[in-house]
Amino acid sequence: MTHRRFGLLLADFVLVAGATFASFLLRDNLDFQPARYASAAPYLWATALSAILVLPAMNLNRSMWRFSGPADFAKLAQASILIVAGTSAVAFTVDRMVGVPRSLPFIQLITLFFALLSGRLLVRAYHRYRCRPKQFSETPGAAVETVLIVGLGPLTELYLASIDELTGGRANVAGILAQKPRHAGRLVRRHKILGTPTELEDIVANLAVHGVNVHKIVVTIALESLTASDRSALAAIETSRNIPVLFLEERMGLNNASFERFQVAAVTAEDQTLVAANQQFARVVHRPYWTLKRIVDVVIAAAVIVLIFPLFVLIALFVAWETGLPILFAQQRRGLGGYPFTMLKFRTMGSAIDEVGARKADTDRTSRTGQFLRRSRLDELPQLFNILMGHMSIIGPRPLVISEMEPQHSARLLVRPGLTGWAQVMGGRQVSMNDKAALDLWYIRNASLKLDVKILAHTLRMIVSGERVEADAITEAWRSLKGLGDLGDKSRLAA
């Protein structure tokens, strides 16, 4: 860990400590009572322990505060909830929170999130003040280009910020055209929404009357988001007024994420079957069960984290003592839609290099604690945090290492990967990748609450007795994939 990252971690820890003391003061109506802190010492120590574990696990010290945004603020909220939940779990286990008002955790949660958020917002504001753009071009007489923006979305804000940061006053935004008429008249980063793309000709003509000549039009949304009339208006203005229309998505080298990028020519009959499934399974995941499943995932993951937080602490201490730091092992895997995410595990292996620089064998690197964690699957517990963050589900296809991801297996990416899954309990590491893919697709097609409960029960059996190949389940999975025609039957999807 670099000095800067350690400094950020220390700053967050100080903010957590300050917020905790502030929550006591707020609870006591700003009446400072030293005896109160003495009686609540276990709660304070539990807060410190929770913060030490949660802050680095959430990678808060890796983010750059001056560039913090909504995604970072969401992680702050998650970290605040986990710290308070962990504190409450540990303190209740130690002394049932004697001397701690029952309202304190709620007050602490609010002050904690506010403190972490305020620190980042202050750094962001200071950085923006120092790096504020110059109002005028450094070159006298330099040409100023007038831009009309079409689209309202995240790329719009990014483009406006880029103009402020990089152009030095050489670009002028005439206004923005939004897709919905109700947005007309509102402001985005002080720039006015003038109307909709279908009104483009009238808006350009009206700007010209007021001495504003549009030099180019920049579209900041995907082409697919534009209606037929919007596209006609853009084509007409480019032809009639010779105003170039640029698509920001194209200029930035972006394209729509789709499973088509994984499609390749099949090599075997099994591959052909899987590729056919890729093309037809997309509609299966629109069943209402997947929405319900996400809600259940969050509730169960949060509850389990709170209930077993002392176990997290105990495992972390054993790992740190026998294997060393860091406690967690992070590896990039493919998630929903094929997007990579960082999957967490408790670290079970030591350094790959010995004292003289030679590479160690894996058997020499695995500690006794690591062997136990792998055998009992307890090394997977940190993935409960992945579930809370939306990267994973409790039940689903196991996430594969990116290098192991084959094109014909891409339909597995239609749903969130799971902590455990049908392929895991029906064979796990003892079956081929194609058989795993077939089992996972069978699960996606037949997912239900009853099936998820069955998978959990099989998971417990697997932990006790080890992996076992269920040949009948594999045969049934392949048989169902060969009858893909009935996927179009809506009554079947509703079942």
- Find where tokens 């740190």 sit: 320
SS3 content of the chain, % helix, strand, coil (to 5): 60, 10, 25
275, 415: one domain? yes
Taken in order 239, 243, 248, 250, the sign of the CA dihedral is: positive
In-domain check, residue 135: no
pLDDT score of 381: 92
289, 376: one domain? yes
Per the structure, the count of domains in the chain is: 3
Mean per-residue pLDDT for 276-305?
Answer: 79
323, 443: one domain? yes
- Angle, vertex CA 409, rays to CA 407 and CA 412, nearest 5: 130
217 and 158 Cβ atoms separated by less than 8 Å = no
pLDDT of 260 above 70: no
pLDDT of 262 above 80: no
Tally the C-alpha atoms within 13 A of residue 13's C-alpha that lie toward its C-beta.
17
pLDDT score of 358: 65
Q: Which has the closest alpha carbon to 197: 215, 213, 220? A: 220
392 and 419 Cβ atoms separated by less than 8 Å = yes
Provide the 10 A C-beta neighbour count for residue 323.
23
pLDDT score of 386: 92
CA pair distance 320, 318, nearest whole angstrom: 5
In-domain check, residue 273: yes
pLDDT digits (tens, 9 = 90+) for 97-118: 877 888 889 999 999 999 999 9
End-of-domain residue from the set 199, 225, 251:
251
pLDDT digits (tens, 9 = 90+) for 381-403: 999 999 988 899 999 998 877 66
179, 155: one domain? yes
Range with the poorest average pLDDT among 40-49, 204-213, 246-255, 302-311: 246-255
CA pair distance 36, 32, nearest whole angstrom: 8
pLDDT digits (tens, 9 = 90+) for 316-342: 898 888 887 788 888 888 888 777 888
Q: Are strands 187-188 and 191-195 parallel, antiparallel or unpaired?
A: antiparallel
pLDDT digits (tens, 9 = 90+) for 11-37: 999 999 999 989 988 888 888 877 777
pLDDT score of 30: 82
Local structure of 244: helix, strand or coil? coil
Q: Which has the closest alpha carbon to 158: 52, 42, 94, 70? A: 70
152, 23: one domain? no
Band of residue 279 on the pLDDT scale cut at 50, 70, 90: low
In-domain check, residue 221: yes
CA pair distance 443, 454, nearest whole angstrom: 12
Per the structure, the complete domain to which residue 100 belongs is given by 3-130
pLDDT score of 484: 56
Mean per-residue pLDDT for 425-453?
Answer: 87
- Find where tokens 């993935």 sit: 383
Band of residue 283 on the pLDDT scale cut at 50, 70, 90: low
